[in-house]
Amino acid sequence: MNRDSAVWESWKRALVTLPDTTFFAWMRHYLGPLQTPFNKQNLIQDLIQRVSSPDATRVRRLLLTDSDLDILAALKHLGPSSAPDLANWLDLSEAVLRLRLLNLEERLWLFHQTAPQVLYQVSPFTLEDEMAELLTETRFYAGLPAQPAGDVIPLATESHFLALYAALDEFPQELTQGQTWKKKPRAELLAKFAGLTPEDGLDKLLRACENLGLVTWDGPLLRLVDSYWEDLGRLSATDRTALLATAFGPWKGQFLNEAAKAFWEFASKLRPSTAYSWRTLRRFSGQIFAWRTPEDREALLKAWTTIGLFLPGPENDTWVFHPPLVTPGPTILEANFEWRLAPGSPWYEAWSAVRASRLLRCDRLSHFELTKPRVQHAIARGLTAIALQKSLSTLIGHDLPQNIAITIQEWEAQTRQVQLWSGLILRVDPAKAPLLQHAEQFAQAVLETLAPGVFLIDPDSLELVSRDLQQLGLPALPPPQTAKRPLDGSPWSFSRWSAPLPVVGEAPPPTWVPPVDPLPAQKLTEHWQKQIEDSPLQEEEKEELLGRLRRRLMIEERQLSFPVTHKEKLEARGLDFLGKMRLLEQVLANPFDLIDVETRQAEPADTLTLRPLKLDRQANEVLLKAQDPDSGKVYLLPISRLTRVRRLRGSLS
């Protein structure tokens, strides 16, 4: 690389503007004792020559970890970035990331500029041609070839939702005063879904229905919102898939509305039969603006692993996306009125049959039975024998057996011997009535034809009726005040809802980036560690050199003989209360230092690596508040219970 290029000049300028303490600490670490007088520009040239030597270059690259490469590749991919933006992209806590950024900066892989804000960018050493393969953008979207998912049926499949509708319609659920399920209806419901996987699949389905507004609470009673179930059936299969899958996430109402519209955008980023690491899936989801916060995205992805939308891949912590667009299997209707709804069966065509059936059980398939009480119950709510017969014949692919068709007609006739209707009466010019009756939307809205040109219509279907009237040249109907859709707690209407399919090409072929082999670096550091431990240096000097070795700052054996500037005490043990306090105060003054502590909280003693946050002095004790830099867990540790405190330097200065 041309060492007069802009990136070299930016890096040199960043070095020159470092505080003198930091600048000279770095130079002494890499170059050894400095000869006076100092000239920063000359020292930088010496530094470049030293770390660019073939041996030093080989060792520096050998010591790079996967975590190091992720950060460097992200900066190369994103360009100059702030720590918060980089932490969000890498899915790391900002505190942990800042420690790693400082370490990589001291190892000369990146640098930062402070004006107009602190931005990190890769150093010219990172942009060398030999690094390109290690820092390819594909490491963020790496995937492995995986076997097709086979016949796994996700919980978000339409047939499972329809099975739940039939069960809830037959066994309404209710809460006790203590906000627990009433035992008998709950037991009856659980029995229907005993074969469903996962074990808590029923509760997941219920929550998804509640998020969608398909069920709503009326005091202690859980009620079905029939109009929403029917509206959902009118959507396309892809739109319905987006809604049902996203409903298992953390959103409700309008937030769910927006999140579901981005489902296919996310799906377009993943290739079929390809396994992705969890971190890669997080990065993909982070590109979906509608999925709001990292916590929301994490909750959605984790939910999908439990309902079968993500299946385990061939490597540990890899997942294969398995959207629930199941190819419909045959729906089988037996002579004894039992029938099985196959996954992937069209919702709207199955809707009438489900309303008129009782659920026998739901496992991989949904098993129903047409019974007289259920058929008459559905007919009393507006279903007709013709609509039911059409629904069943569409599902099974041929005409109904004669005995079943005749029985359904008989049950309808018995039901209609006494009828009580609730609806709106529409009167149309008799000359136009025959044309209107052939309009598909109008036919669905008619509950009963009372006389020529006089119809009893569903109040919820006024918009459809009005549209057909306009197409026939008749005035549109303004919705009457008394016919407003009841407030049922549902967040939005599914009418004309759509989740757009992105107009993009196929997702890029995945390239699996194998993890770094840690053994060569481990052998090298173990060799140097033994040399340090066997050296005649003072204990404090050994600890300082070992700390630098752990932080992968040593790149040449000659550095082991360089004098170190830090010779203060780095460890306090046992009853040395003042020594432990002094060490902790020093670490608190440097936000990049960590501590190793051993406690007497358990046997054997626990060893923790922590980032101190504060010392809290109480009447008879001093408590250390500290945080695990990886998990974020916060500890409160009495100083008197710490058997050892060791300072782990986070920087050279």
Has residue 305 got a pLDDT over 60? yes
Cα torsion 100, 103, 105, 108 to 10°: value is -130
Q: In the structure encoding, which two tokens stand for residue 639, read together?
A: 């100083």
At residue 133's C-alpha, the angle toward residues 132 and 137, to 5°, is 80
Ordered structural domains, the chain, with CATH: 332-415 (no CATH), 424-483 (3.30.70), 571-648 (2.30.30)
pLDDT by residue (tens digit) across 14-64?
999 998 988 999 999 999 999 888 799 999 999 999 999 999 999 999 999
pLDDT grade for 11, boundaries at 50, 70 and 90: very high
| pLDDT given for residue 273 in this prediction | 83
| pLDDT given for residue 339 in this prediction | 93
Q: In the structure encoding, which two tokens stand for residue 593, read together?
A: 């230092």
Say what the pTM is: 0.64
Cβ-based neighbours of 208, under 8 Å, separated by 6 or more: 156, 161, 244, 247, 248
pLDDT by residue (tens digit) across 343-389?
778 888 898 999 999 999 998 789 999 999 999 988 888 888 999 99
What percent of the chain clears pLDDT 70, i.e. is strictly above it? 89
| pLDDT given for residue 421 in this prediction | 67
Q: In the structure encoding, which two tokens stand for residue 526, read together?
A: 């173990």
Residue 622: phi and psi, rounded to 5, are: -115, 125
Q: In the structure encoding, which two tokens stand for residue 370, read together?
A: 């047409």
Report, as an integer, the average pLDDT of 506-527.
77
Report, as an integer, the average pLDDT of 514-539.
89
| pLDDT given for residue 428 in this prediction | 77
Which contacts of 585-589 are long-range, i.e. CB under 8 A and separated by 24 or more positions? 585/615, 586/647, 587/612, 587/647, 588/612, 588/614, 588/615
Residue type at 324 in one-letter notation: P
Q: In the structure encoding, which two tokens stand for residue 573, read together?
A: 């043990």
Residue 471 DSSP label: H
pLDDT by residue (tens digit) across 619-642?
788 999 998 876 678 889 998 888
- Specify burial of residue 515 (Cβ count, 10 A radius: 0-12, 13-18, 19+): exposed
Has residue 138 got a pLDDT over 80? no
Query: CA-to-CA distance for 291 and 270, rounded, in angstroms?
Result: 17
Residue 420: phi and psi, rounded to 5, are: -130, 115
pLDDT grade for 568, boundaries at 50, 70 and 90: low
Q: How many CA atoms lie within 13 A of 160 on its CB side?
A: 28
What percent of the chain clears pLDDT 90, i.e. is strictly above it? 38
Average pLDDT, rounded, for the chain: 84
Report, as an integer, the average pLDDT of 416-423.
70
pLDDT by residue (tens digit) across 162-203?
999 999 999 999 999 888 999 999 999 999 998 887 788 899
Higher pLDDT, 438 or 173: 173
pLDDT by residue (tens digit) across 584-630?
888 888 877 888 888 875 544 567 888 889 999 887 889 999 988 76
Query: CA-to-CA distance for 257 and 273, rounded, in angstroms?
Result: 28
Q: In the structure encoding, which two tokens stand for residue 18, read together?
A: 């470092």
Q: Which residue in the block uniquely carries the two structure tokens 């009167």?
A: 427
Residue 346: phi and psi, rounded to 5, are: -65, 130
In order of 11, 34, 120, 286, 589, the CA distances from 18 in angstroms are: 11, 17, 14, 34, 19
Strand spans (E) along 405-495: 424-427, 446-451, 454-457
